[in-house]
Amino acid sequence: QQQVKQSPQSLIVQKGGIPIINCAYENTAFDYFPWYQQFPGKGPALLIAIRPDVSEKKEGRFTISFNKSAKQFSLHIMDSQPGDSATYFCAASKSGSARQLTFGSGTQLTVLP
């Protein structure tokens, strides 16, 4: 049972383009939606996160758009750079003692110079 569905599986853009990665979730109890970034040979690291009481959050060139009614959220990378080439994972969790993260399947992003 995949509770968080992520697409696309891979994405190639030119430098300066705006890659968009989409995720959809099923569990309406989720109340925290992070994006993790993973470079080759490294573990994932938190990039940006959003709660469902806002529709958008920006941190630098990275923006999360959140649509609560559609149960969807997406990551936009403005003015993408070759250094943004990495695997991106969306995730979701709910408050409580466990706060387990349920991850999407990942998107491998390549930004061409």
Partner 1 sequence: DVKVTQSSRYLVKRTGEKVFLECVQDMDHENMFWYRQDPGLGLRLIYFSYDVKMKEKGDIPEGYSVSREKKERFSLILESASTNQTSMYLCASRASGTHEQYFGPGTRLTVT
The footprint of partner 1 (CB under 8 A) covers 6, 9, 32, 34, 36, 41-46, 49, 89, 93, 97-101, 103-106
CA 48 to chain CA centroid, Å, is 8
To partner 1, the closest distance from the beta carbon of 41 in angstroms equals 7
Q: What is the DSSP letter of 8?
A: -
Q: Which is nearer to partner 1, 46 or 78 (CB)?
A: 46
Which residue's CB is nearer to partner 1, number 17 or number 49?
49
By three-state DSSP, how is residue 94 classified?
A: coil
Question: Is the Cβ of residue 17 or residue 106 nearer to partner 1 in the bound state?
Answer: 106
C-alpha radius of gyration, the chain, whole number: 14
Shortest distance, position 47 Cβ to partner 1, whole Å? 11
Tokens of 80: 């993408």
